Amino acid sequence: MQTHPTIKDGWFREISETSFPGQAFCLKVKRILHSEKSEFQDILVFESESYGNVLVLDGIVQCTERDEFAYQELISHIPLFSHPNPKRILVIGGGDGGVLREVVKHGDTIESVTLVEIDETVIKLSKKYLPNMAKGFDHEKVKVVLDDGFKFLKKVAQENNGKYDIIITDSSDPEGPAEAFFRKNYFELMYNALNDDGIVITQASENCWLNVDKLKDLKKICKQVFPIVEYGYVTIPSYTSGQLGLMCCSKKLQITEPIRKLSTAEESKLFKYYNSEIHKASFIHPTWAKKLIDGN
């Protein structure tokens, strides 16, 4: 019988004194589906009582079948609908395939989607246990590169062509292999890998109910690189405190309202969480949080 140190008495416990001291998140476990230490991280997949299959990396929930669409849709469609003509898309991380599934919904607008994932094991396990997310890998416009995202961006930034309209960083939390994705030089690399009207979005790890100082610091780092920086968020129950932050940066395009819009009927057909109104609402914050994050 498989076991894992995060599971005790039939309950998975997400505990991190670094990221969210003094609190925890728990899910009741039906059965462990897979557990191993890859070359890069500890990977756990389990079937839960109420959230379907769950992917956990280094003890932190990455996605659940019940609510993954909220995060995948918002981190994908905020930048895509903020750009008038997004053709070349780069996804750093996202080995579960969820962002790919959402990006290719933009159809003929998209010419190519490149996903750079360091850990092939995450891709393989997602295809087996999270097929509704991993179906994004099957699209003809998707190319997968097994590489370190930081190193890949260095190569792109040094080239004179082949740059991107949108870069989506769907990384794990800033501990272990994803730590480099929260530093100034990473945002500088993304800036240099973008076209002149490019947009980047990255999961910010925290939310205003947790380490708000880390959000403040991350936004400050982004503003040293990009002229336009906005903090948005998605509500999603399987992330601690029910929210996850999204840091959105642009070279010149505003990103708090969609430039392109679909009809209500089209939105209802394609999306479960995203619509043009929630796009705008995702950048509206409580007064106290806005003051802290903006440094006022």
* Residues tagged active-site: 170
Q: How far apart are CA 37 and CA 29, in angstroms?
A: 20
CB 204 within 8 A of CB 247: yes
Report the sign of the C-alpha dihedral through residues 136, 140, 146, 149, in that order.
negative
